[in-house]
Amino acid sequence: MNTFLTDDTKVTILLCAVLGKEQVAKPLTQMEYNALVRGLVAHKLRPSDLLQSENIPKVVKESGLDQSRLELLLGRGVQMGFVLEEWQRSGIWIISRSDVEYPKRLRKHLKDKAPPLLFGVGDKALLTGGGVAIVGSRNVEIDGEAFTRKMADLCATSMLPVVSGGARGVDQIAMNVALNAGGVVIGVVAENLLKKSLERTARNAIADERLLLVSPYHPNARFTVGTAMARNKFIYAMADYGLVVQCDYKSGGTWAGAAEELKRAVARPVFVRASKTKGNSKLLELGAVSWSDNPSDAPLSKQLNDLAEGKKQEEAVKNMDLFDYPLMAKEEGTDFKSGGQV
């Protein structure tokens, strides 16, 4: 494994990462790091340029951050060295937004919400992402579990990666089934990346280059509701499509993640299993696409793409002004008076 870290990444780690229990200063938040970046850009600097003390006041003036805090964070070199040794010995790699290896799909989809750092275990080539994000409730019903297993197996045989969050219930079922079927899995975890990467089943799949575990949080991070909620957008960003198996209405991470994605100006297509649950039905009202329990025999990627395109066209027609219809008729060769082709 290549454990080389660029100087930009080392500085980003110093500024943003939790390095042990004792903190000389609070690491920068996402918003604070973005403010820092704006200050760097204003002076045509890179993160590594902050290692030269004369550059710090320039950035402080632009970003509004506290200079003493930045200096304390940048002075954690020895502490960083010990922590990095532990992480890298366990197979964990780190990349920052300044690295060429940083996933382009995260930059494009999340923009300034793309995390400053990514911690991961597994083949970095899998960072290109793609595939289907299969997500759902921790307490999934029996028919929902059967559906999850069928879709995860179908993804594996269709050579589409399964992206999920590793939580109990739908997430874990989808990931395990896909791996057992010989598929590729990308797990976006919100807690304890280090511990999860050392589990025997995970190590075997990682060694086979079929499992990538990635997290925007430090490898020893504990579970919090906030981090679990926040990582949902990374799951969708790493996939091409989202598939919600089961969710509670306005409750839990599955609902929040899907609702957040559907509100994006340029959203991933979000499919919802056709069921009578209120949460699933409400997601359809927000713009999700219904997915049958019994999909057709057509290739999975074609089904997903066709349904997504159909939804786009439906929304386009719904949002048209009355005076747009003659133009559409001319383009498509439709005679609205006769109802036939011109």
Structure tokens at 327: 């133009």
Output the pLDDT for position 295: 75
Mean pLDDT of 187-199: 93
The reply to whether the predicted model has a pTM over 0.85 is yes
Question: If pLDDT is split at 50, 70 and 90, which confidence band does 332 have?
Answer: very low
342 burial (CB, 10 Å; 0-12 / 13-18 / 19+) is exposed
Mean pLDDT of 297-323: 79
The type of residue at 35 is: A
Q: Is pLDDT above 70 for 73?
A: yes
Q: Is pLDDT above 80 for 292?
A: yes
Output the pLDDT for position 131: 96
Sequential DSSP letters for 4-23? ---HHHHHHHHHH---SS--
Output the pLDDT for position 339: 41
Looking at 3.30.565.10, 3.40.50.300, 3.40.50.720, 3.40.50.450, the CATH number of the domain 124-295 comes to: 3.40.50.450
Q: Is pLDDT above 80 for 263?
A: yes
Q: Where in the chain is the domain with CATH 3.40.50.450?
A: 124-295
Output the pLDDT for position 323: 52
Strands (E), the chain: 93-96, 117-121, 132-135, 162-164, 185-188, 211-215, 241-244, 270-273, 289-291
